[in-house]
């Protein structure tokens, strides 16, 4: 939806946006990510949405923050697709569910449990929230090349941060804890708040979406929080994965 020729929420035009976009939640990470680009410049800043655009290997690329949760992430995706973008990598943080997923590790999502509301306004719950295979492969290759301790598999997306952190305080504590134990029993790797909405919206819009997540802690084992210097791992993996996708796309 355009207002005065610009996207309603992102305040940008098609000329401002690259085909490939990295999607952090935190607006404060956009400048850090853009530092990996050539000729990077800020495009716009409105609400939770900060946008920078530059170049990787000669290809125009962008970074756009989405804030916290599925609704704003889906808004960003919708408007970026209207501007011509077709490949997206979410870079964020998560808490481990599987005991093997510890603080400092990296998770590449293949799909997400749809325990959130946004995706239900796109497709029925029977439709899986799956990441795009080329993006998953590129992220996995990047993590391997960078030497990260990486887990690849299904994650969980939810709407309530504190429903995870202190479920016993919620009126529906039994329901929340029952589902959490079910995800753990099924081998779900980690929990976050945006991927399911992005994967489902991306499927409806016929674009490629993936996600790479820095693990902060494990809710089951209470492992130590991720070291500060490790918080950049997902960013480096996303940038390297975009470079791989750019190379591959030039030959298709």
pLDDT at residue 136, as a whole number: 98
What distance in Å separates the CA atoms of residue 194 and residue 75, rounded to the nearest whole number?
Answer: 12
Residue 240 scores a pLDDT above 70:
yes
Identify the band that residue 252 occupies on the pLDDT scale cut at 50, 70 and 90: confident
Which pairs count as long-range contacts for 38-44, CB under 8 Å and 24+ apart, including other chains? 43/12, 43/16, 43/17, 44/6, 44/10, 44/11, 44/12, 44/16
pLDDT in tens, 56-90: 999 999 999 999 999 999 999 999 999 999 999 99
The predicted structure's pLDDT at residue 150: 98
The residues, any chain, with a CB within 8 Å of residue 228's CB and separated by 6 or more, are none
Q: Are the C-beta atoms of 173 and 52 separated by less than 8 Å?
A: no
Mean pLDDT for the chain? 95
242 with 61: CB under 8 angstroms? Answer: yes
Question: Whole-prediction pTM value?
Answer: 0.96
What domains are there in the chain, each with its CATH number? 2-250 (3.40.50.1580)
CB 193 within 8 A of CB 161: yes
d(CA 213, CA 225): 14
* DSSP per position, 74-93: HHHHHHHHHTT--EEEEEEE
Average the pLDDT over 181-193 and give the result. Answer: 97
pLDDT tens per residue across span 34-45: 999 999 999 999
In contact, 142 and 241? CB cutoff 8 Å: yes
Cα separation, 228 vs 225, in Å, equals 9
Cα dist. 130→119, 145, 176 in Å?
A: 12, 24, 23
Asked if 211 and 88 touch (Cβ cutoff 8 Å), the reply is: no
What are the pLDDT digits (tens) for 101-113? 999 999 999 999 9
pLDDT band for position 229 (50/70/90)?
low
């Amino acid at each position: 939806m355009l207002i005065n020729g610009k996207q309603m929420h992102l305040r940008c035009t098609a000329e401002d946006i690259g085909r490939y976009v990295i999607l952090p939640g935190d607006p404060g990470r956009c400048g850090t990510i853009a530092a990996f680009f050539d000729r990077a410049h800020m495009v716009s800043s409105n609400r939770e949405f900060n946008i920078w655009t530059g170049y990787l290997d000669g290809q125009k690329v962008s970074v756009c923050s989405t804030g916290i949760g599925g609704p704003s992430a889906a808004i960003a995706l919708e408007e970026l697709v209207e501007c011509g973008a077709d490949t997206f990598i979410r870079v964020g943080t998560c808490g481990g569910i599987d005991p093997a997923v510890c603080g400092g590790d990296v998770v590449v999502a293949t799909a997400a449990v749809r325990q959130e509301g946004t995706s239900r306004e796109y497709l029925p719950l029977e439709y899986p929230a799956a990441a795009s295979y080329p993006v998953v492969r590129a992220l996995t290759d990047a993590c391997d090349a960078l030497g990260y301790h990486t887990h690849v598999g299904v994650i969980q997306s939810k709407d309530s941060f504190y429903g995870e952190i202190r479920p016993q305080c919620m009126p529906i504590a039994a329901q929340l804890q029952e589902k959490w134990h079910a995800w753990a029993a099924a081998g779900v790797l980690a929990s976050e708040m945006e991927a399911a909405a992005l994967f489902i919206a991306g499927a409806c819009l016929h674009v490629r979406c993936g996600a790479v997540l820095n693990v902060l802690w494990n809710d089951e084992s209470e492992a130590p929080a991720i070291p500060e210097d490790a918080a950049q791992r997902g960013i480096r993996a996303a940038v390297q994965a975009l470079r791989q996708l750019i190379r591959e796309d030039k030959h298709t």
